[in-house]
Structure formats: structure tokens, C-alpha cells
Amino acid sequence: MCGFIVPKNAQILINVWAMGRDSSIWQNPNLFMPERFLEQEIDFKGRYFELIPFGAGRRICPGLPLANRMVHLMLASLVYYYAWKLPYEMRPEHMDMGETFGLTLHREVPLRAIPFKSFCKSGAPIDIGRAVLTTVLNAISNNFFSIDLAKYDSNLSHEFQDLFCDVTEEAGRPNIADYFPALRLIDPQRVRKRTRIYFSKLFGIFDGIIDQRLQLRLHQRVLKKATMN
């Protein structure tokens, strides 16, 4: 294939990072230039291999339709309802744009900004990523549980969001056992152990939500019977 010999049953890893930074396709590929896409017919839905942030083919990211709808809505809402400034007299050129590798690529240092409007009195900086994630999680949880699963300033919300980020980082972290299948039984990086801990905590949160809903329904039934009597 293209001059290379691919052995039978070989596991092939595609370097999507390098594909998206090909200097023969993108001018100054390492610079943050959103305007570069204004004159391009290339989209991100897996049809053009120059830009496949969600993957392509049968294994394309199932969250693409949700992201395509929610990101624009969240960003537009934040920009429309608030004016923003960086905390501690920071200038945009001094921001740390370092990235952390994981299943999803995110900033190594979270973006924090101060919203200000007539009803915003505290002036405290907030984590933009956490605020957006809170809104997206609530949109999903309302479809399944009819409740808001996350609140920006609640301990439970922080625990759930931190757990969500840990799971995505774990899923995207290179595992030596993927390259040497004989090591899967040994699990030298303790991936299975950490994964069991993450999912145990996640199921515990879901069990708590379900129990809370059941107790609420039982309470409503008791009140309804008392009212009828």
C-alpha cells in the first residue's frame, strides 16, 4: 500500500494531528487562524481528510451532531449576554495556549474570564470550559432524567465534570499494551484499575440521581393520595 508492506492483522494508527498540520495544505498550520476556513469548502464532517477533528468513516465520533448544534449555541449565548475581560490585568498575548493530550484535546491551563453586566456583581473569574460543559451536560441530562445534572458552583457538579475529564484523558492516553498485546494481562500502566475506579464513581453518581428521582415520585404519590382523601 503506497510502497509500504502492511502485515496481516496489523494495528494501524493514523496520525490525525499531523494530517491537520500539513504545511502543503494549510498555510502556517501551527497558528490559530480561524479565518483560514472562510474561503474553504472543506468541512469537519469526515468527507475531507485534510480536516477530520471528529474522525471519519464508520468510527466517526458519535458526538459530532451534538457538538455541531451545542457549541454555536453556547458560544453565542455567552458572547450575547455578557461582556468579558481577562482576570488579573492579563493581556491576550500572555495567555498560555498549551494543550493536554486526551480523547478530546483541551487546554492545559483552563481559560478563565470575568463576565460583567448589570446583575454580575462579584467580578470573579469563571472557567469558560466548565461553564460550557455544565450547560451541555444539563441539556443531555434533561433528556434522560428531566433534571439539571450539573451546577457550576456545586461540589457534585465539579466531581462529575472532573470525572468526565479524567475518563476522556484516560481514553486518549497512549497505552503500551495496545502496541504489545502480550502485556494486556499484566496491564503495566494500571489502565484497567483506574478505569474501574472511574466507572464505579460514575455509576455511583447515576445511582444517586435515580434514587433521588424515585424518592421524589414516591413523595408526589403520597401527596396526591393525601390530597384526594
Please report whether residue 6 resides in a domain: yes
Please report whether residue 26 resides in a domain: yes
Per-residue confidence at 129, pLDDT binned at 50, 70, 90? confident
Residue, of 124 and 189, whose pLDDT is higher: 189
What pLDDT sits at residue 119?
47
Please report whether residue 219 resides in a domain: no
Residue 61 assigned to a binding site: yes
Smallest Cα–Cα separation from 111: which of 122, 95, 90? 95
Dump pLDDT digits (tens) for 31-40. Answer: 888 888 887 7
What pLDDT sits at residue 118?
47
Please report whether residue 54 resides in a domain: yes
Q: Which domain holds residue 26?
A: 1-61
Q: Looking at mean pLDDT, say which of 2-6, 96-100, 169-173, 209-213 comes out highest.
A: 2-6
Q: How far apart are CA 204 and CA 217, in angstroms?
A: 20
Please report whether residue 183 resides in a domain: no
- Answering whether pTM is above 0.85, one says no
Contact 74, 135 (CB under 8 A): yes
Sequence-ordered list of residues with C-beta below 8 angstroms from that of 166, at least 6 positions apart, any chain: 198
Backbone angles phi and psi of 100, in degrees to 5: -110, 130
Count CB neighbours of 157 within 10 A.
19
Q: How far apart are CA 114 and CA 111, in angstroms?
A: 10
Count CB neighbours of 133 within 10 A.
20
Asked which of 18-27, 35-44, 59-68, 148-157 is least confident by mean pLDDT, the reply is 148-157
Question: How many domains are contained in the chain?
Answer: 1
Asked which of 48-57, 105-114, 149-158, 159-168 is least confident by mean pLDDT, the reply is 149-158
